A and B are shown apart, each in its own frame.
Chain A
């Protein structure tokens, strides 16, 4: 009797009760799902996915709020603020990334994988991991801006469209990540 009630409660309020996280999906099935989402975006909007652009737009909006003169005199930010009439946040990618956050949460909740945690290997401290996370993010963000996109926009979208620059990007990412992996092995292994 108690087990029945527990399992019913688990269905309704999965994040309330301790629960074993479900295993991940078959990667190929998840890949097909992802590919279909990408395809739907092409068919409905005539464009693919993206992520970095959402952050760029949000940051541009922030900079414009805090230091509008700088935003309007910068060759970089002018692309986002324009003549000041359009709000940089009115951007397809901004809404898309909000969806990504919600979708990730939804999947996590349904699978019992939402938990306050820190992903790290066994041989590194939390502090060490956080330093890596921050500076890794910094480097990654800089690289993404230089490459005009990230794995979502360039690798997935540009990959499916067979765009030359996108394929060059993804090969460069894998090449450098494999090399650098050796140097950061203490973080993960």
Chain B
């Protein structure tokens, strides 16, 4: 028994020492383009300004709002609660797997690209502000001023669960995942 124990201990220490040398696993994540396409097609990837403004005014917790514009633009005006981050900096960030991240840029293109990149890193609770700051200004700041710029509500964006909310009825798989 003593030899077995010694061998097991050696094996464990060797594997652990190798781990120390090997470095952290390169965060390889399996990426499914079809899943991404589905998200985009069904507009599960963005939220519109009114929904975001509701999140902010209701002091909703558990999400981070990130501004991808320049420092000057940020200083001029930014959505309350936003953090300024450049794209390379965003790629270095380590978010929690279940953290909700909302990205916005001037018109939305940069935020869409950043969102996609975060998806490839394995973060799935990432959304972009549809229409960017421009849409925010029109729909939220200057609500009612120019009805012509009112954007139609994306039909799915309000009904999609953004995080795992405390819904009373958890779907089978979700409950299955949470209990132990």
Is the interface on chain A under 10, 10 to 19, 20 to 34, or 35 or more residues?
20 to 34
Given A26-B1, A28-B8, A79-B168: A153 touches B180 (CB 8 Å cut-off): yes
Which label, helix, strand, loop or mixed, suits the secondary structure of the A interface? Answer: helix
B179 CB contact (under 8 Å) in A29, A57, A75: A57
Given A26-B5, A28-B8: A75 touches B168 (CB 8 Å cut-off): yes
B30: min CB distance to chain A, Å = 12
- Chain B, 133-180, CB within 8 A of any chain A CB: 168-170, 172, 175-180
A28 CB contact (under 8 Å) in B5, B172, B176, B180: B5
Contacts of A148 in B (CB 8 A): 178, 180
Q: Are A52 and B168 in contact (CB under 8 A)?
A: no
Contacts of A64 in B (CB 8 A): none
Contacts of B177 in A (CB 8 A): 47
Q: Are B176 and A92 in contact (CB under 8 A)?
A: yes
B4 on interface, CB distance cutoff 8 Å: yes
Q: Are A53 and B4 in contact (CB under 8 A)?
A: no
- Chain A window 3-44, contacts with chain B (Cβ cutoff 8 Å), 1 for yes, 0 for no: 000000000000000000000001011001000000000000
Number of A-B residue pairs having CB atoms within 8 Å of each other in the complex:
52
- Chain B window 118-144, contacts with chain A (Cβ cutoff 8 Å), 1 for yes, 0 for no: 000000000000000000000000000
- Chain B window 32-50, contacts with chain A (Cβ cutoff 8 Å), 1 for yes, 0 for no: 0000000000000000000
Given A26-B1, A26-B5, A32-B8: A50 touches B176 (CB 8 Å cut-off): no
Closest to A27 in B: B5
A109 on interface, CB distance cutoff 8 Å: no
Contacts of A86 in B (CB 8 A): 172
- Chain B, 76-108, CB within 8 A of any chain A CB: none
Contacts of A112 in B (CB 8 A): none
Interface centre among A48, A57, A92 (most CB of B within 10 A): A92
Given A26-B5, A29-B4: A78 touches B180 (CB 8 Å cut-off): no
B169 CB contact (under 8 Å) in A49, A52, A78: A78
Contacts from A to B (Cβ < 8 Å): 26, 28-29, 32, 47-50, 52-53, 56-57, 75, 78-80, 82-83, 86, 90-93, 148-150, 152-154, 157-158
Given contacts A29-B8, A50-B180, A52-B179, 6 further A-B contacts (CB under 8 A): A32-B8, A47-B176, A82-B169, A86-B172, A91-B175, A149-B179
